[in-house]
Structure 1
Amino acid sequence: MQQRGNSSPSRVAIPGRRVAGLAACPAMALEARWCYRGDPQEGQSAPLVQFTNGKLRSSDNMNFTLYKSQDDTNPRKKHKRILNAETDRLSYVGNNFGPGSLKCNNLCRYFVGVLDKDSGEMEVYNAESFHMQPLVSADAPDEVLSEYLNKTYREKVDLCVEAFGTSKQRRALSSRRMNEVRKEVLNHAVTNAAGDIIETKGVAAVISDATEDDKGDISLILPPCHQDAERVEDVYKLDDLISPAEFKALKGPAAAFVNITSEEILKLTAEKSYCSFVLDELRCLPTDKKARDHKARCLWFLDCLVKLSFQRSVKKKQTMGPDCPDIISSNLVKNFTALSYSNGRIQNLVSASMKAKITAYAIALALHINGFQTDLTVLQRDLKLRESRILDIAKTMRLKISKSKSLSGCEDHKLGTVCLPLPVYKMPVGRRKRKKN
């Protein structure tokens, strides 16, 4: 029940409806008189309570105590109230200030009415709503109460599990708390160790060590690079890309490339059976039998790398189909996938770092196919990469980057070339993201 405007007495009709939480008597007159009395006590509103864990069935076994602030001069503190409710089992507490108070007290005014059924007169008093919460300890001081009310829901649930939970729930709670303690101890130890290293070596030495570690991580995804090579063909050796055993096993599947005809190339192009780089190179196979066989084997292996980059989860058996030799399939899984445990089983995944490794090996193999200068734009489109991504990998491989017109002359292509001495590029740093319009 709310009041607006003047507080003078008025008459209101109550035809059998509830007024201020009390039901009007059916035998009562159709009209009743109500009078606004203000506060039931000087400077103190009547408390209205609601409980967080249920509804109050009976108030006979409850004792309510209202506490008010003794600082009557401070305008912020003189209206602070704390309401305590005691039962045989639990104690409840509510207040009109702090984070646990109801915000509606600042937005609404509450009133409570006392109806005299004989005279039909209702006395209306100011009221204030309190949100009652259970308090575990009846003797808890104010600071303990404030600490309990400020706890998160997870912390309160943990307290309930600790007090009333089953043995299994308590063991789970203890295990989780131990893990949190171990994590905190580990973080503290790492912080102290880092501080000792910085104090001993200095910031410059630590940054230098981190740079060397980054170089080591990059070298794991790049084919072996012989920087002191005297010939361009020895910078990235073919034996480091395709082992002699693998090269020997490629003779069977690559035989279809050795004897391929123009009509078959057109059919493969229409069916998109192979990547664009391989199809373009099949049109210009050398006439020499040995060189033709060598290039055909390299092209077939490069197409396997491109197809592998599109897979997410790889099976060990028949990774690249039934035509792929077992030694090729097993080595592709071993060298270009990462082990991962998911859904109760171990999987071989082509992660982002493994895709970068596949790209680097494909570039190195394309260099051998094209006389150590290859079209990076065609490989980029076959591997479905961003241009910046494949250029970063090519620069990390110490290739010289240049531009050239495509065969149609309509667009520029990026070329990667092995040049001695090998150029040196700065490590790529994080690029700033463009703002979207």
Structure 2
Amino acid sequence: MAATCTFVLCEEEREADKATIVQFSNGTIQNADRLDFAFYKSVDEANPKKRLRRMLVAESDRLSYVGSNFGTGSFRCASLCNYYVGVLNKTTMEMELHSAQLFKMQPCIPGESTEIDKSQDAHIQTYREKLDSLTEAFGTVRQKRALSSRRLNDVGKETLQKAMTKAASDVIDHKGLEALKEELSQGSSQIDFTLYLPPRNPDADRPKDVYAFDDLLSPAEYESLADGGLQMAALTPEELQIMKEEKKNLSVLKLLESLPSEGEAREKTLRCAFYLNMLLKFGKQDGKFTSKKDGCPSIIHKKMRNDFAVQCFKKGWFNSVVSPATRAKLTAHCLALLLHVGSMCADLTLLQRDLNVAESWITKVAKAMGLTLSKTVKGAPRDEHKIAFLILPLVKYAQSSERGAFKRRR
């Protein structure tokens, strides 16, 4: 009759008591007694990824072997499974189970890097570097010449970039960031605003034909604003009061507070109010405007990106940025839109606050459009508002070359 045995789990073991199973990659060791084994563990026990790293070293008179439980040279199965070694007590016929550690021993030849170092180097090396290495070894003369030329260009670009970075840092340290911003604003004030006006017909017989509404919004774009008009009409008095208290998009709020009672004029004002609201958000967010959040139609979002922003390439992506020139175009577009829904009258002060531009900026835009300007006091005392009117014939202004200001011709 065959003998039977029972399994007995041993008590909690210390790491030093765990069984160690080794496998030599280059063959079988005949005289294992002649090997001196040394066991090492990571000193960084605070790091959870490194505290379990172990390394086993075996040395003989002729060769040394190294094995570890991490890296490409280790057994992948060791991190996925728990291994045990059974030790049979032939007297009691009980088999004790002990935890086991697996190590793959590889010969370590002096003068050559270990497999771990090779794996780290291969991980750091990029695909381009690997391809360049193959070109150096097996490429044709033409390919090698192209590789050498590209490397020289890369060195030149890197040197130029470092020089530009150093020069920019020196300028910022010398002048200061605020002084540079002031110089930038002064440079943007020299923009010729007449180049960024909407299509204009100065010989028109009626004021509304000077800046035609169809040139501001095409019929397809106007139809896409139907849902936006309903969204504006659904605003409650409480929501309008919140807009007034937060002083956000005051030009839009003024349109909603003076809505026509009914008819086509009311629908046109609601759609233009929604469109103006999108334009103001687009300008405030410097072109980083998402259409889905506010229900902006895709055709309108595309129009704003194409007409009132420039595309710049940064960190691998194309981003929309509102430059001083496109901001001037946006300001003139908003002003022309307000004239159409405001009986050829627009509040420049409210639009200036909505777009967060200087008073001189929006005044230059209005004068470039040939509008008649006047001042009036509204609301609080000394709250003076500048009003623009489109009156035929258009007013012609002359720019002074000395002070950069506008004067009316007599």
TM-score (norm 2): 0.50
1:390 aligns with 2:365: no
Shift of 1:242: 1.2
In structure 1, C-alpha distance between the alignment counterparts of 2:343 and 2:252, rounded to whole Å = 15
Counterpart secondary structure, 2:394: coil
Q: Return closer, same or farther for 1:171/1:223 CA change in 2, 3 Å cut-off.
A: same
The structure that has the greater radius of gyration is 1
Q: Deviation digits for residues 4-45 of structure 1, max 9, x if unmatched?
A: xxxxxxxxxxxxxxxxxxxxxxxxxxxxxxxxxxxxxxxxxx
Q: CA deviation at 1:424?
A: 0.5
322, 331, 341: which is aligned to 1:359? 331
Correspondent of 1:279 among 253, 257, 260: 253
CA 1:172–1:239: 2 relative to 1, 3 Å: closer
Give the aligned partner of residue 232 of structure 1. 207
Matched letter for residue 392 of structure 2: L
Are 1:370 and 2:339 matched, yes or no?
Answer: no
* 3-state SS, counterpart of residue 346 of structure 2: strand
Say which SS state the counterpart of residue 398 (structure 1) adopts.
Answer: coil
CA distance in 2, matches of 1:321, 1:405: 37
Q: CA deviation at 1:419?
A: 1.0
Q: Is the 8 A contact 1:262 1:283 kept in 2?
A: no
Q: Note the residue ranges of structure 2 that are not aligned, 5 or more in a row.
A: 1-147, 161-189, 406-410
Q: Cα distance 1:404–1:249, how it changes in 2: closer, same or farther (>3 A)?
A: same
Deviations 1:63-110 (A, max 9, x none): xxxxxxxxxxxxxxxxxxxxxxxxxxxxxxxxxxxxxxxxxxxxxxxx
Residue pairs, 1:153-302, within 5 angstroms: 171=152, 218-270=193-245, 274-302=248-276
Following superposition, the deviation at residue 284 of structure 1 comes to: 1.6
The match for 1:91 is none
Q: CA deviation at 1:277?
A: 1.3
Match of residue 404 from structure 1: 376
**Which residue does the alignment assign to 1:17?**
none
Aligned amino acid, residue 250 of structure 2: S
The corresponding residue for 1:420 is 392
- Aligned partner letter, 1:413: H
The 2-side partners of 1:303 and 1:334 are apart by 18
Q: Secondary structure of 2:357's partner? A: coil
Residues 241 and 285 from structure 1, CA distance in 2 versus in 1: closer, same or farther, beyond 3 angstroms? same
Distance apart, 1:266 and its partner CA: 2.0
CA RMSD of aligned residues (A): 3.1
TM-score after normalising by structure 1: 0.47
Change (3 A) 1:170 1:252: closer
The one-letter code matched in structure 2 to 1:374 is A
One-letter amino acid of the counterpart of residue 299, structure 2: I
Contact 1:392/1:428 (8 A) holds in 2:
no
| Structure of higher RCO (CA pairs closer than 8 Å, 6+ residues apart) | 2
Gaps of 5+ in 1: 1-166, 180-213
For 2:154 and 2:314, the matched residues in 1 are separated by 25
- Does the residue aligned with 1:407 lie in a helix, a strand or coil? coil
| Cα separation, partners in 2 of 1:290 and 1:171, compared to 1, 3 Å | closer
Distance 1:335 1:169, change over 3 A: closer
Q: 1:242 to 1:428 in 2, by over 3 A?
A: farther
Rounded Cα–Cα distance in structure 2 between residues aligned with 1:271 and 1:320: 23
SS of equivalent to 1:314: coil
Q: How many pairs align?
A: 227
Shift of 1:237: 1.0
Distance 2:255 2:204 in 1: 27
Contact 1:314 1:350 in 2 (8 A): no
Deviations 1:114-145 (A, max 9, x none): xxxxxxxxxxxxxxxxxxxxxxxxxxxxxxxx
The SS at the match of 2:254 is: helix
Q: Report matched runs for 1:95-134 at 5 Å.
A: none
Cα distance, 1:312–1:173 mapped onto 2, change above 3 Å: closer
What is the percentage of aligned positions where both structures have the same residue? 35
Aligned 8 A contact 2:243 2:249 in 1: no
Deviations 1:321-340 (A, max 9, x none): 25111111111111111121
TM-superposed CA distance for 1:219, in Å, is: 4.5
Matching of residue 330 in structure 1 with residue 305 in structure 2:
no
What is the 5 A alignment of 1:300-315? 300-314=274-288
Deviation, 1:264, is 3.7
Residues 332-351 of structure 1: matches in 2 within 5 Å? 332-351=304-323
Tell me, in whole angstroms, the C-alpha distance in 2 between the residues paired with 1:418 and 1:320.
35
- Paired letter, 2:280: V
8 Å CA contact retained: 1:306, 1:383: yes
Q: 1:34-53 alignment to 2 at 5 Å?
A: none
TM-superposed CA distance for 1:396, in Å, is 0.5
Q: How far did residue 371 of structure 1 move?
A: 0.7
